[in-house]
Chain A
């Protein structure tokens, strides 16, 4: 399945395109709209992968429902946040995680 943006009127999460928000990912600004999950913001911005599996293969949103733990990120200093389960807030400081010591 490839990610696509659901029209706001059909989005049961209550996405509000009139209320933009801005987060940073590893220091880079990324914009989204209120109501989106962090995964939603990243996918809509064209980011598909932000972790690596043990083999080096890319990892991002796999299940989208909080089960697979493949979409983990650090949000405002809290590590191992599932991007698909966390609503994005304006100003969120998001960093990607790696398995290298000290991250």
Chain B
């Protein structure tokens, strides 16, 4: 079977790897360069802490099992490439800063524990030992040792390199322009570099997948949701986990168009501290907004007062692929046989990529699915929605 994966971000790279390793003939078509858009503009989250019971948590737990296995396999073949992934099982710490927030966090964590997530309440001395520079002004804290982080561009590159080693082909600067159908089936795509035939086409275009699907004649409701991150100068060890305010979970689950911001603070291997995060629905408007950056900084300072005066050396922003019901779209498009979607992971694409790829391969190859595919199906109402215009997309 020939498969064309449309998009070489983290999700497309994971799918290309999974399918190529399963023996399929895989071609990856990338409009620009690999891992250059959404993948390169996040924090590299591999999180279970922000997911309540439900299908996304199930997919996250599967992915959390798969990530270390995949990295072990890549380490055997390409140790340096695997090293650049910067896999860091640092764990997450979620804190509440109000009485109501504490009760909500404890309720949320109890629900997660029932689904197999490790969520350990931390008392004040435990929290101070785990994060000595964190404000003491918290009402509850929960430690999630399963949370991890990767360098996202390194991770996507490693997955893609492993796909190419398994025989996959990558075509960059190759934009998909339209569909070629035969008898109602998608049999080829027209691209800026010629027509590409395949038996299956996998839409992995992230925030641009709504527009790409519309070009192919089967629109899905995936929209961009903007986020920004501040980067400090390299510091001595100051932040040891991914530390965030419990209201982050509320911001992730919100569909509001206006600014949602919550404090998310963590270090990288280089010593910089990343300060997030914001969520805004502003289309593909990529202008930096100083007032947004200042809200992020103020919230981070509330959690880590010691960051006061630390220089911010840059800020970056990107677009998350957002579906109104906050679930990814994974599976075949029943309106256009031959078209498959793996998109809509919002801010969790890095964490969910391996599970997404495994589920896609299960469905493509007719294996028993590793997780229930029904909640992710492409023809659910939230995924069909009102499609964004194709202009400027894909």
Contact = CB atoms under 8 A, between A and B. Distances in A.
B77 interface: no
A46 interface: no
A54 B310 contact: no
Contacts of A6: none
B234 interface: yes
Given A53-B270, A99-B271, A72 B234 contact: yes
A4 interface: no
Given A69-B313, A80-B310, A54 B236 contact: no
Contacts of B311: 69, 80
Contacts of A100: 236
Nearest to A51: B234
B15 to A, nearest CB: 30
A80 B236 contact: no
Contacts of A1: none
Interface string B34-46: 0000000000000
Bin chain B's interface residue count. Answer: 10 to 19
Contacts of A101: 236-237
B236 A69 contact: no
B270 A80 contact: no
A44 B233 CA distance: 25
B236 A99 contact: yes
A53 B269 CA distance: 10
Nearest to A66: B313
Interface in A49-82: 53-54, 69, 72, 80
A30 B199 CA distance: 69
A3 interface: no
B74 interface: no
Contact of A72 (B233, B237, B269, B270): B233
A99 B235 contact: yes
Contacts of A102: 236
B391 to A, nearest CB: 34
A58 to B, nearest CB: 14
B134 to A, nearest CB: 15
B266 to A, nearest CB: 15
A75 B5 CA distance: 52
A98 B313 contact: no
Given A80-B310, A80-B311, A98 B270 contact: no
A99 B310 contact: no
A102 B236 CA distance: 7
Interface in B172-213: none
Contacts of A98: 236
A72 B310 CA distance: 12
Contacts of B313: 69
A53 B236 CA distance: 12
A99 B271 CA distance: 7
Nearest to A68: B313
A54 B233 contact: no
6 contacts: A72-B234, A80-B310, A99-B235, A99-B237, A99-B271, A101-B236
Given A69-B311, A80-B233, 17 more contacts: A54-B269, A54-B270, A69-B233, A69-B234, A69-B313, A72-B234, A98-B236, A99-B234, A99-B235, A99-B236, A99-B237, A99-B271, A100-B236, A101-B236, A101-B237, A102-B236, A103-B236
Interface of A: 53-54, 69, 72, 80, 98-103
